[in-house]
Amino acid sequence: MIEIRNVRKSFGPLEVLKGIDLTVAKGEVLTIIGGSGSGKSTLLTCINGLEPIDSGSIHIDGTEVHAKSTNLDKLRQKVGIVFQQWNAFPHLTVIENVMLAPRKVLGLSKAEAEAIAVKQLGHVGLGDKLKVYPGRLSGGQQQRMAIARALAMSPEYMLFDEVTSALDPMLVGEVLDTLRMLASEGMTMICVTHEMKFAREVSDRVAFFHKGVMAEIAPPEELFGAPKNPETQTFLAATH
């Protein structure tokens, strides 16, 4: 499980995370919503150790992410992250892109990495695009390739940061369907998203972030149906 305790983080004079407390259980799907600049992306990058924190702690299955002794490469195999956009290597085919990390980081043989890439690309519905170059994929297909690339490391946790925000509206559905599939398979996920319908359907809990504070966290029916926090109410009213 992911245990976040009183995490504070500033960029210069700007305090971006103001004491976040949050526990995500194994198998849970948590979505994070909130306005731009509320600290959602920063929290995700702190969870997998891409950004240091100023105080507090984050433990993943008992390992303290920001402890000096922690092997971050190993931790990041366990915690995959997918961003709004991933720039695949244009001169490598889709399968070669997905094979890269299993080869280099896990040290797998070519045949082993190939088998994993074929499996995960099939899993996200790209089984027919293995030998294609990324530039020939649609935005939705590129995001599914990015998800396959993360899954190729056999992560136990997945962090998704607005993975549909850069997509044409027509392509959003196929990527959300891939996330739904992972959720139904029991993947532990934290999804930052603006897709309220998706958040309502797929989440065990929804957290609303406002100015570096987790202003409210509740099951979706509660957070969307009867939000308690005035800032949540204002935010939700504005997104309808």
Q: List residues binding ligand ADP (CB under 6 A).
A: 11, 14, 16, 34, 36-42
Phi and psi dihedrals of 137, rounded to 5?
-90, 150
The least CB distance from residue 173 to ligand ADP, in Å, is: 23
The least CB distance from residue 91 to Mg ion, in Å, is: 29
Instruction: Assign residue 110 a region (left: φ > 0; alpha: ψ between -120 and 50; beta: otherwise).
Output: alpha
- Cβ atoms of 160 and 179 within 8 Å: the answer is yes
How many Cα atoms occupy the beta-carbon half-sphere of 180 within 13 Å?
13
Residue 49 binds which of ligand ADP, Mg ion, none (CB < 5-8 A, kind-dependent) = none
The least CB distance from residue 179 to ligand ADP, in Å, is: 18
Question: Binding to Mg ion (CB under 5 A): which residues in 133-162?
Answer: none
Tell me whether residue 36 or residue 69 sits nearer to ligand ADP (CB atom).
Answer: 36
Give the strands of the sheet with 205-210, arranged side by side. Answer: 79-82, 157-161, 188-192, 29-34, 205-210, 213-218
Which residue type sits at 177? D
- Cβ atoms of 189 and 29 within 8 Å: the answer is yes
Beta bridge partner(s), residue 9: 17
Residue 237 binds which of ligand ADP, Mg ion, none (CB < 5-8 A, kind-dependent) = none
According to DSSP, residue 125 is labeled T
Residue 220 binds which of Mg ion, ligand ADP, none (CB < 5-8 A, kind-dependent) = none
Q: Residue 196 is encoded by which pair of tokens?
A: 């309220």
- Cβ atoms of 205 and 218 within 8 Å: the answer is yes
The least CB distance from residue 206 to ligand ADP, in Å, is: 15
Residue 69 binds which of ligand ADP, Mg ion, none (CB < 5-8 A, kind-dependent) = none
**Selected range binding Mg ion among 33-41, 87-95, 131-139, 219-227, rule: CB under 5 A:** 33-41
Question: Binding to Mg ion (CB under 5 A): which residues in 41-100?
Answer: 41
The least CB distance from residue 40 to Mg ion, in Å, is: 5
The least CB distance from residue 34 to ligand ADP, in Å, is: 6
**Selected range binding Mg ion among 35-43, 48-56, 96-104, 194-202, rule: CB under 5 A:** 35-43
Instruction: Give ∠ CA 187-206-83 in degrees, rounded to 5.
Output: 60
Residue 11 binds which of Mg ion, ligand ADP, none (CB < 5-8 A, kind-dependent) = ligand ADP
Binding-site ranges for Mg ion (CB under 5 A): 40-41
